[in-house]
Amino acid sequence: MGLIPYKNEVYLDWTEEKNVEAMRAALKDVGSRLGRSYPAIIGGRRVETDDEIVSVNPADPSQVVGRTASATEREADMALETATSTFETWSRTSPEARARILLRASAIMKRRKFELLAWEAHEGGKPWFEADAQVAEAIDFLEYYAREMLRLKDGVEIYSVPGEESRYTYQPMGVGVIIAPWNFPTAILTGMSSAAIVAGNTIIMKPSEFTSVIGAVVAEIFEEAGLPEGVLNFLPGYGSKVGDYLVEDARTRFISFTGSMKTGLRINELAARQIENQRWVKRVIAEMGGKDAMVIDDSADLDSAASDIVKSAYGYSGQKCSAASRAILHADVYDEVLDKVVEKAKALKIGGPESADVNVGPVISEPQFEKVSSYVDVGKQEGERVLGEDPGDPQGGYFISPTIFEVEREARVAREEIFGPVLSVIKARDFDEALRVANDSPYGLTGGVYSKNRDHLELARREFKAGNVYFNRGITGALVGVQPFGGFGMSGTDSKAGGPDYLPLHMLARTVVERF
Ligand code: NAP
């Protein structure tokens, strides 16, 4: 196929009035469509359920964004049955034809970009630039995985012995259950789903309960792109209600999950148990939580270190698995960096995503608001709060102001994933100690070092225990194809989304040898 080389989608420039106007118009348009109902889609058929999921705007919980079906085991069973039978045809569809569907979905997303941004603002509470980065990431996944499938469609080179031909090729695996989180409801859902589909699998797509409407929009885009019925079965539902059923079923071949450590470990455990009629070892691709650290040493450019700590800690209100939730500062520069971080964090504009200049929006939901609020209470007991206020009444929106605690490394706020705008700042005697503190975590997702000392950078290059390590820059916003993303330890199976090893996780590798 004659495609132009892959390149990342360019972000929108919010200083351009035409973009601001287009976004305002999209917010108004999507605003006029709130409150609608979205059924499940199984084999192309709209399927209503007895119960529903009501999704609200986190910046204004009185506003219902939409209502989606709430699947039970009955609909999950229908979806598994449909995906199983559709696998027979889709797995035999050519890789080129499968890739073209992704390219068409990407073109639709580009055309509908402002609308998608507006859904992100309404349902995810995303500031405009965060929403844009996320939709750009979804487009990148589609473009990248389409090209990856074309690269892998005839297999990869291996050696043959004289007189024989050895071939090593990839084939589709089966029915995949795609379980997504709410924090990147367009990008991660699109990325996990498109990788599975382009590899020739059929899927059950389960979005997060908090962003089910965006899930419905993504499902519609694949439909509009011409994906045959039954390849993607859209199954909104509560994880607690249908999750175990989908994971345990004998028809499920693999589970692609992104979410918390707790859920990921449960899925891994349930998937490992063999049940009646099961004919394979289920594969689990799991990307989970983080407690990501940035280490600042005494040689660093302190101004830019402070700016990147603030960006990495408070982008999307700290609700990124890659977010900096620990800043580990060399004792000699501790006060200076902390002062700068406080000053820069104070300047952030908090609010609903109504204009391009809002930096920090609400957290996603009432349970998340309660969880983060309780960590703010814990932090006040454990250390000194140098920035932030007690959270207010959640009825006015789930807003929590950027918060900073000075704590010891053992503090719970410095060890547990909070997933909100809360940063723990820890003092280290020297670089070795700072790196030890950074590594002293069961997680290992992202990490950063700010330093001009070559020995320190090389030491961190070898020893920093994280799947994505960044030097002298922020630690969030991994670009597809440029910064393949996935963690070590309890952060997951290191599947590296957006990288060259990702698609083969969704396929079976076959070796065929013929002697002549
Ligand atoms: P979560 O509570 O684990 O939920 C993730 C998904 O799992 C949701 O769709 C959820 O459904 C579903 N689920 C819940 N219980 C289940 C069960 N028993 N079986 C199957 N599925 C089940 O996580 P979250 O709060 O949505 O997302 C935040 C977490 O994701 C954080 O820990 C963050 O670090 C992590 N994350 C990691 C990455 C990465 O690449 N490593 C990226 C983004 C986020 P419901 O919505 O209905 O509960």
Interval 373-399: pLDDT, tens: 999 999 999 999 999 999 999 999 999
- Distance (Å) from CA 112 to ligand 1 centroid: 27
Burial class (CB in 10 A: 0-12, 13-18, 19+), 16: exposed
- The number of the ligand 1 atom at minimal distance from the alpha carbon of 259 is 30
Residue 31: which pLDDT band, with cuts at 50, 70 and 90?
very high
Mean pLDDT throughout 73-77? Answer: 98
How does pLDDT run across 179-217, given as a tens digit for each residue?
999 999 999 999 999 999 999 999 999 999 999 999 999
Which positions ≥6 away from 372 have C-beta within 8 Å?
363, 391, 400, 418, 419, 420, 421, 422
- What average pLDDT does this structure show over 110-136? 98
- Reported for 161-166, long-range contacts at CB under 8 A and 24+ positions apart, including other chains, are 163/515, 163/516, 164/513, 164/514, 164/515, 164/516, 165/513, 165/514, 165/516, 166/511, 166/512, 166/513
Distance 181 CA to ligand 1 centre (A): 4
- Using pLDDT thresholds of 50, 70 and 90, give the confidence band for residue 1: confident
Q: How far is the CA of 286 from the centre of ligand 1 (A)?
A: 10
Copy the structure tokens of residue 36.
């609608």
Identify the residue whose C-alpha is closest to ligand 1 atom 47. Answer: 238
Beta bridge partners, 204, equal 177, 233
Chain centre distance of CA 350: 23
pLDDT at residue 175, rounded to an integer: 98
Q: State the pLDDT at residue 304.
A: 98
What does pLDDT average to over the chain?
Answer: 98
Report the nearest-CA residue for atom 8 of ligand 1.
208
Per-residue confidence (pLDDT) for residue 246, from 0 to 100:
98
* DSSP letter, residue 476: -
Ligand 1 atom closest to 53 (CA): 47
pLDDT-derived band at 229, boundaries 50, 70, 90: very high
Atom of ligand 1 nearest to the CA of 181: 26
Pocket test for ligand 1, best of 56, 208, 418 (most atoms within 8 A of CB): 208
Tell me the average pLDDT across 242-266. 98
Please give the pLDDT value at position 142: 98
Tell me: pLDDT of 503 over 90. yes
Across the strands, what pairs with 384?
A: 406
- Identify the pLDDT of residue 77: 98
Pocket test for ligand 1, best of 183, 468, 483 (most atoms within 8 A of CB): 183
| Residue 507: per-residue pLDDT | 98
Distance (Å, whole) CA 291 – CA 196: 28
Report, as an integer, the average pLDDT of 27-36.
98
Ligand 1 neighbours, Cβ below 6 Å, are: 179-184, 188, 206, 208-209, 238-240, 243-244, 247, 258-260, 263, 266-267, 287-290, 321, 417, 419, 445, 487, 491-492
Tell how far the Cα of 180 is from the centroid of ligand 1, in angstroms: 6
d(CA 461, CA 447): 11
Please report which confidence band the pLDDT of residue 2 belongs to, taking 50, 70 and 90 as the band edges. Answer: confident
Please say whether the beta carbons of 236 and 38 come within 8 A.
yes
Would you state the pLDDT for residue 118? 98
Q: Which of 211, 321, 446, 490 to mutate to test the pocket of ligand 1 (most atoms within 8 A of CB)?
A: 321
Q: What residues are annotated to the active site?
A: 287, 321
Distance 375 CA to ligand 1 centre (A): 19
Closest CA to 204 of 156, 255, 167: 255
Give the pLDDT band of residue 127 (cuts 50, 70, 90).
Answer: very high
Query: pLDDT grade, residue 429 (50/70/90)?
Result: very high
Cα-Cα-Cα-Cα torsion 59, 60, 63, 64, nearest 10 degrees, comes to 40
Q: What is the mean pLDDT of residues 216-245?
A: 98
Tell me the CA–centroid distance for residue 410 and ligand 1, in Å.
Answer: 26
